[in-house]
Amino acid sequence: MPPAERILQGDRLALARLLSELENQTSQGEATLGELYPHTGKAHIVGVTGAPGTGKSTLVNRLVQKLRTAQPDQAPTVAVIAVDPSSPYSGGAILGDRIRMRDLAGDTGVFIRSMASRGKLGGLASATGAFTMAFDAAGYEVILIETVGAGQAEVDVASRAHTTIVIDAPGLGDDVQANKAGILEIADILVVNKSDLPGAARTLRTLEMAMHLALPASGSLGGWDIPVLATAATTGEGIDALAAAIASHRQFLLESGGWGERERLRTRTQLEQDLAASLMASFLDPEIEARFDSLVQSVVERKLTPRAALDALLGEDSSSRR
Ligand SMILES: Nc1nc2c(ncn2[C@@H]2O[C@H](COP(=O)(O)OP(=O)(O)OP(=O)(O)O)[C@@H](O)[C@H]2O)c(=O)[nH]1
Ligand SMILES: [Mg+2]
């Protein structure tokens, strides 16, 4: 049976193989993804981002547990994509957690995949998009994508998700606190994690204030009031409210037409990044790369302007195609 068919039938091994193919950007992987594409478009894609160490992985683990155990009969299947993670995923079970629950590591409704390969230029961004499509086609109903940083990250999660959750935590310092406006542009849900730590109330107030400053008139973005939630991922505090907010946002998007808008944005971002990556890939040819290096040197030495170097590169590229 061809891999695409096996994946559509829920074969986890075939899916795992495809993910590796996609990570390595093989043509076999691309071909399978092409066959799967018509089966995508159903999943709720949720981005989870925030500064390093704010508790994103711990929170995602909790969320997966919550989604899978709340109403077992109607629990959504969940895939997790951890982009360039520095902390490991446990497969849903948190170390030292004494709450009795199903062992998510053996739960076939959960698929967790980390991705750390930076092999090729644009590799992470492109693989994240490809993984999302693969999970979507395979029938995973919620896809959680964890990335570090907000906005400036290589994988700009906000333009890849339907719902973006920005995680903050107390004690990150004033420079981070001062950068709230940027966060507000991408957040659909704001979370102050580590609410068990001192300073959490202050962080919560800062965020709420920044939000009122950014959105003085209506206090909402196109009808959606960005919730500011307090959680403690290590104890599970606030996870119910977070899961509810995610479900509400999905409902809001479906009812307001925002879902289609985000689908267009997601597709456009993917195409733009693939285009940039594929143009760059033409320069990864060792011969052209050597020329690239010598042009960089010439620009550094002021023998060429950056524009002239660009023209030289583009000229080289078009002549090599003849
Ligand atoms: N006190 C407290 N500690 C927490 C909480 N959530 C996470 N932590 C701890 O914070 C540390 C970082 O948690 P992670 O979940 O790895 O954070 P992360 O944001 O995924 O980190 P990176 O992936 O490295 O950016 C760990 O030691 C967690 O146990 C919380 O709610 N309260
Ligand atoms: Mg992490």
Closest ligand 1 atom to Cα of 197: 1
- In this structure, what token pair is assigned to residue 290? 């050597």
Residue 321: burial class (beta carbons within 10 Å; 0-12, 13-18, 19+): exposed
Q: Whose CA is nearest to atom 3 of ligand 1?
A: 194
pTM (predicted TM-score): 0.84
Q: Whose CA is nearest to atom 9 of ligand 1?
A: 55
Longest dimension (CA), the chain: 69
Residue 156 — very low, low, confident or very high, per pLDDT cuts 50/70/90?
confident
Mean pLDDT of 172-192: 71
pLDDT, position 92? 42
pLDDT, position 53? 86
**Strand (E) or helix (H) holding 204:** helix 200-214
pLDDT, position 239? 96
pLDDT, position 153? 56
Using CA atoms, how far residue 286 sits from 50, 121, 293, in Å, is 37, 14, 10
Q: Whose CA is nearest to atom 26 of ligand 1?
A: 55
Cα–Cα dist 99/93, whole Å: 10
- Which ligand is nearest the CA of 191, by number? 1
Closest ligand 1 atom to Cα of 50: 19
* Distance between first and last Cα of the chain: 40
Ligand 1 center to 140 CA (angstroms): 26
Specify the range with the lowest mean pLDDT, choosing from 198-212, 246-260, 283-297, 302-316: 283-297
Mean pLDDT of the chain: 82
Backbone angles phi, psi at 75, to 5 degrees: -65, 130
Closest ligand 1 atom to Cα of 237: 31
- Which ligand is nearest the CA of 194, by number? 1
Ligand 2 center to 49 CA (angstroms): 9
Using CA atoms, how far residue 34 sits from 37, 68, 133, in Å, is 5, 30, 10
pLDDT, position 248? 97
pLDDT, position 117? 52
Cβ atoms of 61 and 155 closer than 8 Å: no
pLDDT, position 158? 80
Specify the range with the lowest mean pLDDT, choosing from 52-66, 175-189, 241-255: 175-189
